[in-house]
Structure 1
């Protein structure tokens, strides 16, 4: 496990040439942050939203091409309904409060997962945010909502199977690239760096296909405490790794 330390420089050491194209983050530790302070879990989630703001701004300033955040998994429905309701409320607030800044910074919003399972008003907010930023040419901010990688891969392979049954494609032509083309992230580059906060060392059904060759970084820092310096430290660590993709 790599203990991230705050760096006095908030610019990656190697510069733009060493940046990953796609960074994905499992934002974990909101509940533990709140528990350590004897606060309700929603207080941790609120501080987590503040961390999202910091990281999105910094990622855009640095010049990341894609940042994906695991905001709500398909398994999160198992949490108490009060907590799920709080999370949905925070998502509404984030969109309403931050969309102008995000859109003004040239960020393009994408969503992966079945967010249409949410309440109608929230679905409309998400749809409007996607549409409003669709023509932006800056960083792509991908938000995983009601997302699970197993389900995504199953949907992709089912779509290819249906096309094969209809005679549109030859089953023998189904390759890894064909599956990639059916995923929610079809036009997004694969994950180069996957970060998980809070000390857990699991992928938790997140971008399993897309992260096949990703560098993994696990930090004990709880998500509400993850800031600009921690992001830069993670990017610096990435720049020092040698990626061979199975070669020499």
Structure 2
């Protein structure tokens, strides 16, 4: 019969603690082995040294190095090769092993924890890093119709060539080369308002500004039409000149 003598909370001896820890470690290892046995896992590519003078008898601290995350994951026999796959690589993971069996077991454990193989995966298949499917190349999107303003633009005529056009001007526009005497009206005639008298297939009449005359001249020049124009002092002079042109 069990008797409570007040010492039920006695401390466990160090040997008892060690035994329990050994049992826990053994159970954990057995569970890990069972998990790997029931889970399909891949195997790593085994890379020999890239150095032709590499000595397997002097391979460093470990003869096998698993690169789990890095540039070209796999199992390397030379630390010089393995270190180049993990140095300055963000998030890289690696570990050294004393035998190929241990390295393979470590890889399988990592596969169970991190790899996600597709349906139909065959156990022991050589590891291949998954890649996202490549989509079409990026293109620049068209502008949004909500941000585009449309303006009505009048088609402009081609520029007027600098060479002399098919036109006749009995008196050209005022020029800095003309003398004041040439700009004075004839004797006995009153100057009311200087204007442009124009004779063309599309327009016969008088305009008051040089800009209007230039527009008519440009439109006619774009269509290769003959234009005759004259700077006159008033409407009566314009009527007289147009009558002479028409006769």
TM-score (norm 1): 0.20
Which has the larger share of helix?
1
Q: Which has the higher contact order (CA 8 A, sep 6+)?
A: 1
TM-score (norm 2): 0.20
- Larger Rg computed on CA atoms: 2
